[in-house]
Amino acid sequence: MICLHQGDGNMTSEYKPGDIETKWQKKWEADGLYQADIDPSKKKFYALTMLPYPSGEMHIGHWYAMAPSDARARFKRMHGYNVMFPMGFDAFGLPAENAAIQRKIHPQKWTFGNIDRMRSQLKSMGTMIDWRREAVSADPEYYHWTQWFFIQLFNNNLAYRKQSPVDWCPQCNTTLAREQVHGDDRHCERCDTQVIKKDLDQWFFKTTNYADELLDFSQIDWPDRVKTLQTNWIGRSEGADVIFKTEDGDELTVFTTRPDTLWGATFMVLAPEHPLVEKITTPEQKDPVEAYQKEADQKTEIQRATVEKEKSGVFSGGYAINPVNKARIPIWIADYVMMGYGFGAIMAVPAHDERDFEFARQYGLEIIPVIQPGGEKFDGATMTEAYVGPGSMINSAQFDGTEVTDQKGRANPGLGKVIDWLEKDGLGKETVSYKLRDWLISRQRYWGAPIPMIYCDTCGWNPVPEEELPVLLPEEVEWLPTGESPLKLHPTWKDTTCPKCGEKATRETDTMDTFMCSSWYHLRYLSPKYKEGPFDQKEYDYWMPVDTYTGGIEHATMHLIYTRFFHKALRDLGIAEANEPMVQLRNQGMLLSEDGKKISKSRDGEGVKDDKEDNLKKPAIGEPMLQLRNQGMVLGEDGEKMSKSRGNVIAPDDLVALYGADTVRAYLMFFARWDLGGPWNSQGITGTERWLKRTWALYTEAEVKGDVSDELIRDLKREVHTALDRISKDYEGFEFNTIISTLMELLNTLHEAQRGGAAGSKEWKEILELYLLMMAPAVPHIAEELWTDVLGKTYSVHDQPWPEVDREMMEKDEITLIVQVNGKLRDRIVVPVDISKEEAEKTALASEDAAPYLEGKEIRKVIVVPGRLVNIVV
């Protein structure tokens, strides 16, 4: 073996990723190769991937999200786009505070230390991130503008303060957004503690103003799955508010999607927390009602998951009047009615609602059918289940006989007529109800962007004057065991003067939900140092909107709704222009541990590495879990291969040290379908390692000029262009695994051709160059080394245009004709590509291998698929 590679006088033909990778990373950075600046002569491409929370370490899941996205951004770059691929850190949040409490490190220090570490890890992956555009949400230069946005929303009536019962996590000592409360037992998403209800004054954003617009996805190319999740989350339902009255004359409004069934409302149900409960409860029912309220209150604190869902309730003793027929109906209290939706009160129509039916049967309440399909004759006393289908109205006075269909809202004739009548008589009105609620953004924590509001006894709440922004977090803070926010406990921080009257006033001591910070980070990337505003309009005009956004599906209902809301609000405030911030969204699947379960990061005894990106619940008892980082097991560089046993160490850094970044990048693209993810398995990485070693060998081994036929070269070129075509399509379609397998396949072909004497010819050189260009986005370092240093081509391979597919070259002159008899494969015959149908049929019928199956049989039909197969039916 003769060595051709003589870079830095080091005579070796061994592939040494370690040396190559640092070398090129340094050079690319020094040359500013990936700096993206406004260039009106070029088409822009804003490739964005969700920013990580700086929990301390990058883990394999981060890389799984970023490496393929980076490869695709590089592909777009070679396609002639001016590509911006920025990165930042979602740096506010609870883990930093936990670190402060447990390890006595200031959150600032902990966070920024982690960022340094993670930034260098990201660099070691060889990404094309333009680090000049880095934005860190905990940086005062950043949260200055988060606060500024809050003020704009406040000034435009999109932020308001209200006392409301909120979900409070006693462990984290903070309120949670509805989205952060999980499960039947209503536990905190972060620490699993059961949340409790607390009445607090809180700041909200009016996300509900945009509910209908958020349901419109016509301007964006997002996965159906995310659109469905958001649609369900917003939960629009059409119906009517109907005003009932208690016997005492108090109004008791309910929302219903079925006003057509009003005549069948035989009782009402209030949520246990409903404000009218106390008033309507009769003295004799007082004790059972209060007992029930107490019980319902506690119910949220026991594992409801384990309790059979049986309806429970108690009679209040009070009655209401059904406005449509003046019937006197009892009012019950039951926890199957939620205070948080509609009015916390319902009219119960047991004949046509499953829940009401179950409840009525349980407590012996009256059931009156009011919808009946043809051919049926319902009897309330004997019905065995609620009827929810279409039919015509009965027992409904003047509406008897009116048709009711399956349609929702006014489109349903029965509904429309009843709504019109209700509105005419002032008994109710048509409304739309949403599950989506206004976004609660107050957090009683230190490590977040302070809400820039000031309270004055005479002037009320007023925003901090914009020229005084940012409202900085005080550095000298203390965490007391009470768990109260250090901002609240700080001796002087909250003291200020009223911006209106100048008298003594108090600052808001709550900080903002970190989702507020991440709702606009894509805008800060445009101009992270800009001082005149949140972003430089020039940059906005050129780069926005985001062309491709990649990240995990788990953000479908939180971040991805908030960021859309935020952008629409900014548009209405005249700050942003487009209707949608991100044009195209694609989600990678989740990486699972080897047993197929969700990966949980180990709590490595320090308990602070929880990372909200990872949805770090404590695993249920008995659930197996894979440790992503285990500090006791660091592999040496010479190292033995990764242990094959379970409980494996999967730290990207260790993998990079062992195999090199290119191998790891390629394996992340190769090992699973990107959109599905799946159980992680380190074993297979030797496959991509061998691929790169073999590639290296192909370029560095001696080339012996052989005899090469024109035919071999033509075949080779066809393979190359076919692969090029496929790879180009796969990058567009986010099908990363087949990009690598196509490259591997092509390498096998090249090796074969080399053995067949193709090396040394003029075409061979061109083909080798093409192959490097095709590899470059996925494995940028080895491609650069082979291109620039081994082949001696012009630096950099990443500045080369993506090769064009030569369609003519792809055309074959021969194909393998499949001969089937009754659909079964019997022969393969090589024929010219332009063979006529008749010729193909003739050839097939003459097949020797097929002959035995045709013998003595009558040929019924011959199907010829041009260019593919002939099926003989006998």
Partner RNA sequence: GGGGCGGUGGCGGAAUUGGCAGACGCAGGGGACUUAAAAUCCCCCGGUUCACACCAUGUGGGUUCAAGUCCCACCCGCCCUACCA
Number of amino acids touching RNA (CB under 7 A): 87
871 binds RNA (CB under 7 A): yes
Q: What are the DSSP calls for 750-799, one per residue? A: HHHHHHTT-TTSHHHHHHHHHHHHHHTTTSHHHHHIIIIIIS-PPS-GGG
Binding mask 693-712 for RNA (x = CB under 7 A): xx--x---------------
Measure the CA–CA gap between 564 and 401, rounded to whole angstroms: 45
Measure the CA–CA gap between 532 and 372, rounded to whole angstroms: 66
Minimum gap (Å) between residue 779 Cβ and RNA: 14
237 binds RNA (CB under 7 A): yes
Q: In angstroms, how far is CA 446 from the centroid of its own chain?
A: 27
Q: Which amino acid is at 870?
A: V
Quote the tokens at residue 285. 């029912």
865 binds RNA (CB under 7 A): yes
- What residues from 717 to 736 belong to the interface with RNA (CB under 7 A)? 735
140 binds RNA (CB under 7 A): no
- What residues from 156 to 185 belong to the interface with RNA (CB under 7 A)? 179, 182-184
Alpha helical stretches, state H, 396-458 = 413-424
596 binds RNA (CB under 7 A): yes
Nearer to RNA, 701 or 789 (CB): 701
618 binds RNA (CB under 7 A): no
615 binds RNA (CB under 7 A): yes
Quote the tokens at residue 461. 């709440």
Minimum gap (Å) between residue 337 Cβ and RNA: 4
Helix axes 661-670, 60-78, angle to 10 degrees: 90
294 binds RNA (CB under 7 A): no
Give kind and range of the element (H or E) at residue 518: none
- What residues from 207 to 226 belong to the interface with RNA (CB under 7 A)? 224-225
869 binds RNA (CB under 7 A): yes
Backbone angles phi, psi at 484, to 5 degrees: -70, 155
Place of tokens 């049929």: 841
Quote the tokens at residue 474. 């005080």
68 binds RNA (CB under 7 A): no
- What residues from 306 to 325 belong to the interface with RNA (CB under 7 A)? 309, 311
Backbone angles phi, psi at 415, to 5 degrees: -60, -45
How many angstroms separate the Cα of 138 from the Cα of each of 54, 443, 472? 11, 15, 10
636 binds RNA (CB under 7 A): no
In the three-class reduction of DSSP (H, G, I as helix; E, B as strand; rest coil), residue 144 is classed as: helix
Measure the CA–CA gap between 642 and 661, rounded to whole angstroms: 16
Nearer to RNA, 119 or 555 (CB): 555
Place of tokens 């000049």: 132
Nearer to RNA, 177 or 772 (CB): 177
- What residues from 546 to 565 belong to the interface with RNA (CB under 7 A)? 554, 557
- What residues from 382 to 441 belong to the interface with RNA (CB under 7 A)? 433, 435
Nearer to RNA, 2 or 305 (CB): 305
820 binds RNA (CB under 7 A): yes
Place of tokens 């620490």: 191
Judge whether 237 and 410 are in contact, CB under 8 Å: no
Minimum gap (Å) between residue 819 Cβ and RNA: 9
Measure the CA–CA gap between 142 and 311, rounded to whole angstroms: 50
How many angstroms separate the Cα of 799 from the Cα of each of 11, 68, 165, 775? 28, 19, 57, 13
Minimum gap (Å) between residue 7 Cβ and RNA: 20
Nearer to RNA, 150 or 691 (CB): 691
Nearer to RNA, 91 or 669 (CB): 669
- What residues from 254 to 283 belong to the interface with RNA (CB under 7 A)? 254-258, 271
Judge whether 810 and 718 are in contact, CB under 8 Å: yes
Place of tokens 């260009």: 773
Query: Positive or negative CA dihedral for 478, 484, 488, 492?
Result: negative
Q: Does the N-terminal peptide bond of residue 288 adopt cis geometry, omega within 30 degrees of 0?
A: no
284 binds RNA (CB under 7 A): no
Give kind and range of the element (H or E) at residue 828: strand 824-832
- How buried is residue 107: exposed, middle or buried, by Cβ count under 10 Å (0-12/13-18/19+)? buried
- What residues from 350 to 389 belong to the interface with RNA (CB under 7 A)? 353, 355
843 binds RNA (CB under 7 A): no
- What residues from 502 to 541 belong to the interface with RNA (CB under 7 A)? none
- What residues from 734 to 753 belong to the interface with RNA (CB under 7 A)? 735, 737-738, 740-741, 744-745, 748, 751
11 binds RNA (CB under 7 A): no
- What residues from 182 to 211 belong to the interface with RNA (CB under 7 A)? 182-184
Nearer to RNA, 26 or 812 (CB): 812
Which residue among 33, 229, 321, 583 contacts RNA (CB under 7 A)? 229
465 binds RNA (CB under 7 A): no
598 binds RNA (CB under 7 A): yes
Minimum gap (Å) between residue 827 Cβ and RNA: 10
Measure the CA–CA gap between 258 and 242, rounded to whole angstroms: 10
Nearer to RNA, 345 or 651 (CB): 345
How many angstroms separate the Cα of 106 from the Cα of each of 25, 476, 797? 32, 9, 44
Minimum gap (Å) between residue 674 Cβ and RNA: 9
- What residues from 321 to 350 belong to the interface with RNA (CB under 7 A)? 335-344, 346-347
Minimum gap (Å) between residue 243 Cβ and RNA: 14
Binding mask 659-688 for RNA (x = CB under 7 A): -----------xxxx--x-xx-x-xx-xxx
Nearer to RNA, 694 or 793 (CB): 694
Which residue among 35, 232, 362, 631 contacts RNA (CB under 7 A)? 232
